[in-house]
Amino acid sequence: MNRAITSNFLKPISASPETAYAVLRQFESRARLVESLEALGVGDRVISSHRVELAPRRASGYSIVWKLAGDTRAEITWTALVRSDGYGDGSLLSIRVTATAPDAPSRAQLLAAWPVLGQLAEQHARRTLKAVAELADRFESREEAVTIPVLRKAS
């Protein structure tokens, strides 16, 4: 059986679910991840990267397909879900990291690489949780649209 590797990360946010989701949708953490991988010199390991559309106004996500040794590959998906905290006007942001491999040789390579890839996936999830929480709290009291700057490479 080819089971997925999963990890879950949670962060309470004092902003409303609507604000938290608006910030999540505008916060382009996928681009930041790709930039980080390129800075580490492993950007060529990313075969593809794409956004995953889930439940409207509640969940969002993206995936990267990662090249492993021996012409094998794995897919790592970050799925973010915003929901009410159940107590008031706050919300709860959760991110699930899922790593899968299409066959037994790929799974063996994924498991061998997971001590490094798992740390990368976890740190990226934690950075995203922290950034979205801080930005949602900052913009909760504002009426105008939330605009999140995206870092660009120097030319």
Residue-wise pLDDT for 63-72, tens only, equals 889 899 888 9
- DSSP for residue 117: H
The pTM assigned to this predicted structure is 0.81
Q: Alpha-carbon distance 10 to 94, whole Å?
A: 4
**Residue 29 token pair:** 């953490």
Q: Give φ, ψ of 54 to 5 degrees.
A: -120, -140
Q: Alpha-carbon distance 152 to 155, whole Å?
A: 9
5-139: CATH architecture: 2-Layer Sandwich (3.30)
Q: Which of 116, 121, 74 minimizes the C-alpha distance to 95? A: 121
Q: Which of 8, 23, 148, 6 minimizes the C-alpha distance to 91? A: 23
pLDDT 10s digit of each residue in the chain, 155 long?
568 999 999 999 989 888 888 888 877 677 777 777 888 788 888 888 877 766 666 788 888 898 998 889 999 999 999 998 888 789 999 999 999 999 999 999 999 999 988 998 999 999 899 999 988 888 765 555 555 555 555 55
**Residue 136 token pair:** 């949602």
Q: 97 - beta bridge partners?
A: 7, 78
Q: Alpha-carbon distance 106 to 153, whole Å?
A: 32
